[in-house]
Amino acid sequence: MTTTFERQSVTSTTQGGLNDRSLGWLRFLWDKATTDDDWSDQGEPHQWWDRYSEPPMCSFPRFDLAMVGYVLPMMLEATPAWREGYTRILDEIARRYVTFWGAIDWNTLIGPDPGVDKYPPEWLMVAPEHLRGRYSLPGWTGNGIEPWGLQPDPVGCDGNLFYRGWLNLLLSMRHYVSGQPTQHVAFDVSGYQNRQFSWTHQRIAQFISDQLTARPQGAHCENTKIWPFCMSAAGLGLKLYDSLLHTSLNEPFLDWIAFAKKHYMGRDRRGRIDWVALYYDPIENATMAFPGPLNAYSALCLLHYLYPQDPQLAIDLYESATRQLGWSNPKVPVVQLADDPQMLSNALWMAREIGDTTTWERLRAVSESQFEPRYFGKDNSRFAYWLDRGESWPRGQLNATMMMIECAAPGAWSRVFTSPNTTMYTEPTVCDIDYPLIGIRRTHNDIERRVLEIDTYAATPSRRGTATTFTVDNLPDRAHVSLHIDGRACETWRRSDAGAVAIDVGADTHQIRLTYS
């Protein structure tokens, strides 16, 4: 395994397609998603699912599931005509999400936290100063405590917003990527003592929205903490749901933003944000905010979720955070106060989004030199940031955000939520492709000229050249078709249906041009 920089210089674009890093990460995502493992109470997830990062609040494998798919709707900008591979990955993620291990915190961290005075000092720092040593830390969900009682359904409960909020976001992304309106399809969620609870995507989204309407402070995650971070993710899931289904479930979240600006953050005399709550406990009436510049971390974790919903607030938070940490100041070195690469990756992503080249270049230099970007696996066909820690697998949560930088042009993440490309569902589409034998780097539908362009590559280099077949459907019925591969006219296609053709090709780098009329 070697560190490889020469294969990478620019990030993905719609015109150029997915870059090598994105393709390598996609290949590893495929491995993770399609390799069977047991997420029941009798098993244990494969160790490559990240249940280590961001303790104590995010060190559960669900957070890997929740975040790892973010790149997939963004990748659609480069490959709008190939979606089935991404859909398969999201299906495998969603299948795990609703298992015992998906909700292991709500299902097993029952009752009062027995470790309040046993956690390491570093962890005690995420409790409000006056409560340290006698207060349940973030991550201890405390299902079963008074006054809430035992609520066995991980979705249908007063707390646990971070479960259903990200589930809704995941299902909304799955809807967008697949184009399949499955919001009324019932599925089971595994709860306390393995009891199964039936839900639909529509009911979850409506339930979240109703809770936000009734609870202006926001819904709880752990008993009893309200996190701007989780609220923002829940709001984002609702926003995508609204964009796809023309509902207005996100509206109460916008009201919550107004509430949060007033109660969960403060500004200095110059109007700059100078503190943000990490969380608020309504029973203790306690706000957790890191002191001094470390407070920036509470702001950085919100950026991905708020930027598509309230761009100006996200920019204010970003500017506040990078100023406090000195990351935007070229006169001082980039100091990472916390041993938490995810915060730097969040800032790096935002710097790129808003064109803050000074901060981008400073932070990018850090990520390239310290986050150990490298290809790995058979034929070096997988890619991830390894963090130079000698671990067996790359961290899912960090890579989920770092790869958002690699996989699409700036603005792609916001466009997923504000202007999703729903016309792609009716345009010519690549399907039945034998991924990962052959992969898709780029597709482009030129509707006016009636041309579908497809750039392929050998996703499994050791099988390069192997003959394979894929289909293009959504073509006009009985369309006249001509095929060019690498600039040469080809007859290696046949009509497989009235509106579909099958194309034979070798698994390799090809530029395929399908003209139909």
Partner 1 sequence: MADAALRTLLWLLGQCIARGSRYMPSLRSQITRTMTFELSAGERVARHWVFDAQLRRATTYSGHASAPDCAVHINSSWQALRALVSPVTVDKIVRGLHEGTVELHGSAFVLLWFHGLTRKFVKLGRPDGPRHRIPGAYIAHDPAACGAETIVIEPAVVRLDPTWTGAWKARSTLSTVRACTDEPMLEP
Chain CA centroid to CA 195, Å: 28
- 464: phi then psi, degrees, rounded to nearest 5: -55, 135
In 3D space, the residue among 299, 406, 312 whose CA is nearest the CA of residue 346 turns out to be 299
**Of residues 283, 365, 467, 498, which one binds partner 1 by CB under 8 A?**
283
Q: Is 140 in the site for partner 1 (CB under 8 A)?
A: yes
Place of tokens 């035992």: 150
**Least distance from partner 1 to the Cβ atom of residue 47, Å:** 10
**Least distance from partner 1 to the Cβ atom of residue 329, Å:** 8
Q: Is 257 in the site for partner 1 (CB under 8 A)?
A: no
**Least distance from partner 1 to the Cβ atom of residue 93, Å:** 19
Q: Which of residues 27-66 bind partner 1 (CB under 8 A)?
A: 40-42, 44, 51-57, 59-60
- 342: phi then psi, degrees, rounded to nearest 5: -65, -35
Place of tokens 């041009």: 513
**Of residues 88, 123, 372, 504, which one binds partner 1 by CB under 8 A?**
123
Residue 469, sorted as left (phi over 0), alpha (psi -120 to 50) or beta, turns out to be beta
Residues 6+ apart with CB under 8 A from 319: 272, 328
**Of residues 18, 72, 76, 126, which one binds partner 1 by CB under 8 A?**
126
**Least distance from partner 1 to the Cβ atom of residue 251, Å:** 14
In 3D space, the residue among 258, 255, 254, 294 whose CA is nearest the CA of residue 276 turns out to be 294
Q: Is 290 in the site for partner 1 (CB under 8 A)?
A: yes
- Give the nearer residue to partner 1 in terms of CB position, either 24 or 139: 139
**Least distance from partner 1 to the Cβ atom of residue 128, Å:** 7
In 264-411, where does DSSP find H-type helix? Answer: 296-300, 303-306, 311-325, 341-354, 357-370, 396-406
Q: Which of residues 476-515 bind partner 1 (CB under 8 A)?
A: none
Residue 251, both tokens? 């509206």
The span of 89-97, 153-161, 401-409, 432-440 binding partner 1 (CB under 8 A) equals: 153-161
**Least distance from partner 1 to the Cβ atom of residue 422, Å:** 27
- Give the nearer residue to partner 1 in terms of CB position, either 332 or 467: 332
**Of residues 245, 254, 315, 337, which one binds partner 1 by CB under 8 A?**
337
**Least distance from partner 1 to the Cβ atom of residue 216, Å:** 4
How many residues are recorded in the chain?
517
Q: Which of residues 175-234 bind partner 1 (CB under 8 A)?
A: 192-193, 197, 203, 206-207, 209-211, 213-217, 220, 224
**Least distance from partner 1 to the Cβ atom of residue 233, Å:** 18
**Of residues 69, 80, 85, 139, which one binds partner 1 by CB under 8 A?**
139
Q: Is 115 in the site for partner 1 (CB under 8 A)?
A: yes
Distances (CA, A) of 39 to 88, 104, 413: 18, 10, 30
Q: Is 105 in the site for partner 1 (CB under 8 A)?
A: yes
Q: Which of residues 375-414 bind partner 1 (CB under 8 A)?
A: none
- Give the nearer residue to partner 1 in terms of CB position, either 8 or 336: 336
Q: Please state, in angstroms and rounded to a whole number, the distance separating the CA atoms of residues 462 and 481.
A: 32
Q: Is 333 in the site for partner 1 (CB under 8 A)?
A: yes
**Of residues 77, 92, 153, 242, which one binds partner 1 by CB under 8 A?**
153
Q: Which of residues 433-472 bind partner 1 (CB under 8 A)?
A: none
For 174-194, letters b (16+ CB in 10 Å) and e give bbbbbeeeebeeebebbbbee
- Give the nearer residue to partner 1 in terms of CB position, either 78 or 296: 296
Q: Which of residues 303-322 bind partner 1 (CB under 8 A)?
A: none
Tell me the DSSP string of 27-53.
Answer: HHHHHHHHS----STTS---TTS--SS
In 3D space, the residue among 484, 486, 483 whose CA is nearest the CA of residue 508 turns out to be 486
**Least distance from partner 1 to the Cβ atom of residue 82, Å:** 37
**Of residues 16, 128, 311, 410, which one binds partner 1 by CB under 8 A?**
128
Residues 6+ apart with CB under 8 A from 390: none
Q: Please state, in angstroms and rounded to a whole number, the distance separating the CA atoms of residues 194 and 446.
A: 50
**DSSP 8-class letter at 308:** T
Q: Please state, in angstroms and rounded to a whole number, the distance separating the CA atoms of residues 312 and 182.
A: 33
**Of residues 3, 122, 330, 378, which one binds partner 1 by CB under 8 A?**
122
**Least distance from partner 1 to the Cβ atom of residue 403, Å:** 21
Q: Please state, in angstroms and rounded to a whole number, the distance separating the CA atoms of residues 70 and 59.
A: 18
**Of residues 116, 431, 451, 490, which one binds partner 1 by CB under 8 A?**
116
Q: Which of residues 80-99 bind partner 1 (CB under 8 A)?
A: none
**Of residues 1, 150, 186, 498, which one binds partner 1 by CB under 8 A?**
150
Do residues 464 and 381 lie in contact, with contact meaning Cβ atoms separated by under 8 Å?
no
**Least distance from partner 1 to the Cβ atom of residue 345, Å:** 16
**Of residues 66, 169, 277, 407, which one binds partner 1 by CB under 8 A?**
277
Q: Please state, in angstroms and rounded to a whole number, the distance separating the CA atoms of residues 153 and 76.
A: 34
- Give the nearer residue to partner 1 in terms of CB position, either 387 or 409: 387
